[in-house]
Structure 1
Amino acid sequence: MQGIAALQPYVIAAFLLWAALMKLLSRRMRSQAGRTALARLFGPARAVPLLRLVAVAELAVAGVLLAPPSSPWDGTAAAVLSTGFLAYLAYSARAVPDSSCGCLGAHGRPVEWRSFARAGLLLALSVLAVTAGPYPIEPLAVVIAAAEVLALLALSPELDRHWLTPSRQLLVRLTRPLAVREPELIPLETSLRLLYRSPAYCTAAAHLSSDIQDFWDEDGLRYASYAARGRTAVFSIPLYGGAPADVRVALVEEPALRVM
């Protein structure tokens, strides 16, 4: 436990340094500061200076945490700052529900439960850091510290566009939750919409003399037959994920059988 506590100042300091730099270096801070609760509380003109002041406080606490020797006051300072974060988030969620917290610079994500969870985790780590000292670092402590860093990242809504959104898009591409697995469940109208947009249908349309006469599914394809002036036009339409260019047509002599 002592080895775990010894790493907490570094975890907290890394997050505070990151948050401070995002506030100080963001080019969009001035335009986005008006959307934070600070603008509602102190006025839009004071929002940017106050955010910069918060960044300075974060840098100061991070410096105290990183500077040797370790002291219980280091963790206490971090705990006070984390408590302030929680109080500010509570005010933001109550007074200006659609406002952003400005925690990580100019990101405009509104306050949500993850924002509270992140501040709560920082407070818990700060309390643990009060007991930090020059203890030996164990491998388990390093693993736990890495997990804490990942948890702070996952609890940062401002970072969703960097990892959560791409992960969801990849999952949708891999699982295709809206894809119909059974051919008989795919409506005929779905296949016909693909057919009517295909170059094959546009080429053969002048020869067709009837509406669809028959259709059947086989080997991932849906076949549709049309009368075509003494012959039969048979179209093959992909059932899954096909494009109009994948549709094929064959003109066969009567009698019309299932021939491609």
Structure 2
Amino acid sequence: MHGIAAPQPYVIALFLLWAALMKLLSRRMRAQAGQTALARLVGAARAVPALRLVAVLELAVAAALLLPPASPLEGTAATVLSAGFLLYLTYGRLAAPASSCGCLGTHARPVNWRGFGRAGLLLAVSVAAIWAGPYPLDATGVVVGLAEAAALLALSAELDRHWLTPLRRLLVRLRRPLAVVAPEKIPLEVSLRLLYLSPAYCSASARLTSDVQDVWDEDGLRFVVYAARERTAVFAVPLSDGDPSAVRVALIQEPALA
């Protein structure tokens, strides 16, 4: 238990330092303070002073956690502050669902499950910090602390542009979702959409008297058959070319009945 509790003050302190510095030093944060849920709570004119006050509280708790001697009161203060964050998110979700929380930076996304998850994890870590005591860090504590820090970062939507967006771009490049698929796997709707945009279809559409009667694939082409006023219209739609002008049509005379 002591090995798990020992890193908690450091995890909380680093997180609170980061949050406080973002509120105090970020010009964008001060400029967009009126768009946060805090502005709904205290008024737009008081949003910036309120953010600074919260930052001062975060700095004070972080300093108490980092500086000796260790005391259960420090973990208790962090627990109260974390519980306040959770209540604030709940208020923001209910009273200003379209507003961001303004916790760690500027982004336009409203409070979501990730914000609640981060606040809940911070609260759990703060409760564990009450029993941290003056115990040295061991290997277990280091692993636990790094895992908690990684979870807090992953739950911070403010950092998505630094890791989540690049990761998604990498996955797109690796999976190649827009790569050419096998011709036999191309849906008929795709071929028909190309057909309807083609000059060949526009020139023959007035003659057509039926819906699609037959379809088959051959030599990289998809043949689509319609009835057309005593004739049969056969369209050849390329399977590997998205240019509508490449579509061809042949009007075949129906054989006379004996």
The bucket for the TM-score relative to the shorter chain is 0.7 to 0.9
For 2:170 and 2:191, how far apart are their aligned partners in 1? 26
Question: Shift of residue 168 of structure 1?
Answer: 2.6
- Residue identity (%): 64
Which residue of structure 1 lines up, in the alignment, with residue 104 of structure 2?
A: 104
Q: Secondary structure at the match of 2:101?
A: coil
**Structure 2: how far apart are the matches of 1:170 and 1:124?**
34
Q: CA deviation at 1:169?
A: 3.1
In 2, Cα distance between equivalents of 1:31 and 1:138 = 43
Taking only aligned residues, the RMSD between alpha carbons, in angstroms, comes to: 3.9
> Residues 115 and 235 (structure 1 numbering): CA distance in 2 closer, same or farther, change over 3 Å?
closer
Contact in 1 for aligned 2:20/2:59 (Cα 8 Å): yes
| Aligned counterparts, 1:178-257, within 5 A | 180-181=181-182, 183-187=184-188, 190=190, 238=240
Are the aligned partners of 1:102 and 1:108 in contact in 2 as well (CA < 8 Å)? no
Aligned residues: 230
Partners of 1:100 and 1:110 within 8 A in 2: yes
User: 1:204-228: CA deviations, max 9, x gaps?
Assistant: xxxxxxxxxx99566xx6699xxxx
Instruction: Write out per-residue CA displacement over residues 124-144 of structure 1, whole angstroms, 9 at most, x where no aligned residue.
Output: 101100011222322122111
- Structure 1 SS opposite 2:27: coil
2:205 match:
none
Unaligned runs of 5+ in 1: 196-213, 225-233, 245-260
Which residue number in structure 2 is paired with residue 163 of structure 1?
163
In structure 2, the residue matched to 1:93 is 93
SS in structure 2 of the partner of residue 99 of structure 1? coil
1:133 aligns to what?
133
Task: Report the Cα distance in structure 2 between the residues aligned to 1:243 and 1:163, rounded to whole angstroms.
Answer: 35
Point out the more displaced range, 126-135 or 171-180.
Answer: 171-180
**Does structure 1 conserve the Cα–Cα contact (< 8 Å) formed by 2:34 and 2:47?**
yes
1:11 is aligned to 11
1:153 aligned partner = 153
Structure 1 distance, partners of 2:152, 2:218, is 51
SS across alignment from 2:6: helix
Mapped to 1, the partners of 2:135 and 2:83 lie a distance apart of: 27
Normalised by the length of structure 2, the TM-score is 0.72
1:63 aligned to 2:74?
no
Amino acid across the alignment from 2:149: V
8 Å contact kept, 1:37–1:92: yes
One-letter code of the match for 2:87?
A: A
Structure 2 residue runs of 5 or longer lacking an equivalent are 196-214, 224-235, 244-258
In structure 2, distance between residues paired with 1:156 and 1:193: 42
Taking structure 1 as reference, are residues 162 and 179 closer, same or farther at Cα in structure 2, changes over 3 Å only?
farther
Question: Which shows bigger deviation, 160-169 or 25-34?
Answer: 160-169
Cα 1:181–1:103 shift into 2, 3 Å:
farther
One-letter code of the match for 1:176? P
Decide whether the 8 Å contact of 2:93 with 2:111 is kept in 1. Answer: yes
Cα separation, partners in 2 of 1:66 and 1:35, compared to 1, 3 Å = same
Alignment of 1:40-59 (within 5 A): 40-59=40-59
**C-alpha distance 181-167 of structure 1, shift in aligned 2 (>3 A):** farther
* CA-to-aligned-CA distance 1:170-197 (integer Å, 9 cap, x gap): 323315289645634344x8579999xx
Contact 1:37 1:96 survives alignment (8 Å): yes
Q: Could you tell me the TM-score, scaled by structure 1's length?
A: 0.72
